[in-house]
């Protein structure tokens, strides 16, 4: 059930674009270097994010990626679903289940309920929220460093 590196790298990349994007587009190379990720692989991950309408790219010299929408308008759920597909444990929308007789459906209902609880948490947090939380963490961390 662990999230793939694809998803975690993609999430990191979205955060990086959101945090560093104020001074023009952010290059894949930058993100890769700063976060110690394989640049070519990261490029492949950017593609679905772009095609999914989360990132906008400009090519050529001084090009790079920026957010396609405001960070407040992008939820973590959206990012993960773009990279991972549905986050649900079973096909919750399917009417039929286990052929004709609804054998497993009590289980299926539960699994749907469980995954929806998870998705709900992810849907309520935007990229802007995450960036803010991260900045707070970093502020606290460097304050502690100073004390020590």
Partner DNA sequence: CAATAACATACTAAACTGATAGGAAAACAT
Partner DNA sequence: ATGTTTTCCTATCAGTTTAGTATGTTATTG
Residues that bind a copy of itself (CB under 8 A): 1-3, 8, 11-12, 15, 35-36, 76, 84-91, 98-99, 101-107, 109-111, 113-115, 117-122, 125, 130-131, 133-134, 137-138, 141
Query: Roughly what angle, to the nearest 10 degrees, separates helices 39-51 and 5-20?
Result: 80
Residue 35 binding partner per list a copy of itself, DNA, none, with a CB distance cut-off of 5 to 8 Å that depends on partner kind: a copy of itself
**CA dist 19 to 14, 101, 106, Å?**
9, 51, 44
Contacts of 10 (CB under 8 A, 6+ apart): 45, 46, 48, 49, 79, 82, 83
| Residue whose pair of structure tokens reads 């952010």 in the numeric block | 26
Q: Which of 22, 23, 40, 101 binds DNA (CB under 7 A)?
A: 40
From the list 4-12, 72-80, 101-109, 113-121, the region that binds DNA by CB under 7 A is 4-12
Q: Which two tokens stand for residue 93?
A: 């929308």
The site for DNA (CB under 7 A) is made up of 4-6, 9, 25-29, 38, 40-41, 43-44, 46-47, 50, 57-65
């Amino acid at each position: 059930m662990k999230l793939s590196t694809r998803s975690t790298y993609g999430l990191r990349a979205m955060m990086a674009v959101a945090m560093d994007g104020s001074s023009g587009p952010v290059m894949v190379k930058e993100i890769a270097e700063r976060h110690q990720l394989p640049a070519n692989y990261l490029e492949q991950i950017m593609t679905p994010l772009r095609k999914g309408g989360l990132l906008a790219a400009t090519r050529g010299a001084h090009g790079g990626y920026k957010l396609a929408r405001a960070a407040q308008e992008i939820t973590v759920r959206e990012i993960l679903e773009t990279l991972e597909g549905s986050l649900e444990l079973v096909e919750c929308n399917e009417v039929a289940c286990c052929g004709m007789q609804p054998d497993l459906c009590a289980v299926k209902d539960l699994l749907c309920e469980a995954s929806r609880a998870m998705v709900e948490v992810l849907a309520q947090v935007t990229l802007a929220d995450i960036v803010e939380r991260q900045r707070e963490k970093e502020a606290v961390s460097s304050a502690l460093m100073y004390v020590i």
